[in-house]
Amino acid sequence: MRILLSILLGILCAVPAAAAEKQAADAKKAETHAIHVITVADAIGPAVAEYVVDAIHTANEASSACIIIELDTPGGLVDSMRSIVQAIFDSRAPVVVFVAPSGARAASAGVMITLAADIAAMAPGTNIGAAHPVGAGGNDVGETMQEKITNDMVAYIRSIAQKRGRNPDWAEDAVRESISTTETDALKMNVIDLIARDRNDLIDKLNGRKVRDKGALVLNPNHVVQLKEGLRTKILRVISNPNVAYLLMMIGLAGLYFELSHPGTIFPGVIGGVCLILAFFAFQTLPVNFAGILLIALALILFILEIKVTSYGLLSIGGVITLLLGSLMLFKENGSRLGLAWSVILPTLGLISAFFVAVAGLAFRAQVSRPRTGIEALVGEIGVVRQSVSPFGKVFVHGELWRAHADVSIPVGSQVRVTSVHNLVLEVESLKEKAS
């Protein structure tokens, strides 16, 4: 009887333990088959590349079932695009690029990212293509450089398409001819793998689909993890825009210039220093031409010299010209769509140049104007003799009684003019004698 009770008690204890173990296993299985999703709706720049690469690493560490990149981009920097493509190729988990929502596009650098995915999908009403490389400002670069960049991009995109078993001829035409294709034509021409209405429809169509070298997808549609951008990435995304970085540098230079021309104001110098640090933090992620930075620094030096040297405005003119050249040369031509816009360069150049010239004018005027405070301000002032000056006496100037000296005797009540100050003794002359 005791043996029977022991067996029954053991069974009752084992049932909850087995249930808990099964629940833990199910939870682990659900975690293993989690779907990680990131959304990219911006130009491909350093901040976006960092966000995507970090998200892919996070998903791999979590043994994600797959990573879905919802993409809508006009293009971007080549180096940033290459970083994303490399992370996709290195990913252990399958990577799905989904051009969505309707109305979205995968242009320029977005074409390479889409083709590099294990599975490429598009939503209805989207398009892909127009991958012809352009200069940093959005214009074509020189003919020889254009040919080099184009050939490099053609070889790169063909290798991506061939690796993923997609149409390499279409990929080449997207670079050479800037062709763009709708989602239906892209599916027919073997550019993408499937069309899905939305994320839920995409997951349904992905479930059970085989991925080369990575097995069949086993997805849990109820376990979707949205990976958000961190604060650092958000800040970097804002300031790594070339226009924002340029404005930060200009504000920084203006603040430091004001502090140097008016020492002790402190606030402009602090703001200028912070803006310059943020600008140079952004520059390390952008294709910066250091010749442009040197020209802008030279412009600042010329504006500072305008305060010290009488050049009748020639140094200021040279500073404006140098500042313009530095702004135009600040970013390299590297086949990207990110660059300085003329709508930013011209107003900023005008305002900053006017600011530099105005501050230089104020500083010069302060240097040549007559002092208004201190002992030096007494020179030229009119006073009244309170104790006859012969040769020393007392005069009343500026509400104060001063010891005075004159070469001639001046009686009490006479008006005098201060000609100089020596050791707190005023040298004066009689206005009456001066008039005669």
Residue 137: pLDDT over 50: no
Burial class of residue 152, CB neighbours in 10 A (0-12, 13-18, 19+): middle
Return the amino acid letter for 364: F
394: tokens are 């007392």
With cut-offs at 50, 70 and 90, classify the pLDDT of residue 434. Answer: low
Q: Using the structure block, give the residue that is written with the tokens 């340029």.
A: 246
pLDDT, averaged across the chain: 83
> What pLDDT, on a 0 to 100 scale, did the predictor assign at position 177?
92
Is 188 a catalytic site residue?
A: no
Please state which of the ranges 64-73, 165-174, 195-204, 409-418 shows the lowest mean pLDDT.
409-418
With cut-offs at 50, 70 and 90, classify the pLDDT of residue 370. Answer: low
Q: pTM higher than 0.75, yes or no?
A: no
Catalytic residue among 148, 205, 214, 394: 148
Q: Using the structure block, give the residue that is written with the tokens 């049932």.
A: 15
Using CA atoms, how far apart are residues 121 and 101, in angstroms rounded to an integer?
11
> What pLDDT, on a 0 to 100 scale, did the predictor assign at position 201?
95
Residue-wise DSSP of 200-239: HHHHHHHTT-EETTTEE----TT-EEEPPPPHHHHHHHHH
Residue 364: pLDDT over 70: no
> What pLDDT, on a 0 to 100 scale, did the predictor assign at position 371?
53
Each residue of 313-350: pLDDT tens digit? 788 888 888 988 988 888 765 444 456 777 888 888 88
Catalytic residue among 64, 83, 108, 430: 108
Using CA atoms, how far apart are residues 179 and 167, in angstroms rounded to an integer?
14
Residue 367: pLDDT over 60: no
> What pLDDT, on a 0 to 100 scale, did the predictor assign at position 51?
93
Is 308 a catalytic site residue?
A: no
> What pLDDT, on a 0 to 100 scale, did the predictor assign at position 188?
96
Give the chain's domains with CATH numbers: 26-232 (3.90.226.10), 242-368 (no CATH), 375-435 (2.40.50.140)
Q: H or E element: which one contains 71?
A: strand 66-71
Each residue of 251-287: pLDDT tens digit? 998 888 888 777 777 888 899 989 998 888 888 777 7
> What pLDDT, on a 0 to 100 scale, did the predictor assign at position 25?
46
Mean per-residue pLDDT for 45-66? 92
Question: Which residues are CB-neighbours of 376 under 8 A, at least 6 positions away?
Answer: 421
> What pLDDT, on a 0 to 100 scale, did the predictor assign at position 6?
53
2-11, 157-166, 222-231, 299-308: which is most confident:
157-166
> What pLDDT, on a 0 to 100 scale, did the predictor assign at position 2?
54
149-163, 229-243, 308-322, 355-369: which is most confident:
149-163
Strands 127-129 and 95-99: unpaired
Asked whether the beta carbons of 172 and 158 are under 8 A apart, the reply is yes
> What pLDDT, on a 0 to 100 scale, did the predictor assign at position 336?
47
Each residue of 91-120: pLDDT tens digit? 999 999 999 999 999 999 999 999 999 999
Mean per-residue pLDDT for 86-92? 96
Q: Which residues of 350-363 are buried (b: 16+ CB within 10 A; e: fewer)?
A: eebbebbbebbeeb
For residue 63, give the nearest of 36, 40, 85, 87 by alpha carbon.
36
Using CA atoms, how far apart are residues 173 and 152, in angstroms rounded to an integer?
14
Asked whether the beta carbons of 233 and 243 are under 8 A apart, the reply is no
For residue 110, give the nearest of 72, 166, 165, 150 by alpha carbon.
72
For the chain, what percent of residues have pLDDT higher than 90? 39
Bigger pLDDT: 408 vs 20: 408
Q: In whole angstroms, how far apart are CA 205 and each of 59, 190, 202?
A: 21, 17, 5
Bigger pLDDT: 361 vs 247: 247
> What pLDDT, on a 0 to 100 scale, did the predictor assign at position 31?
45
Asked whether the beta carbons of 269 and 290 are under 8 A apart, the reply is no
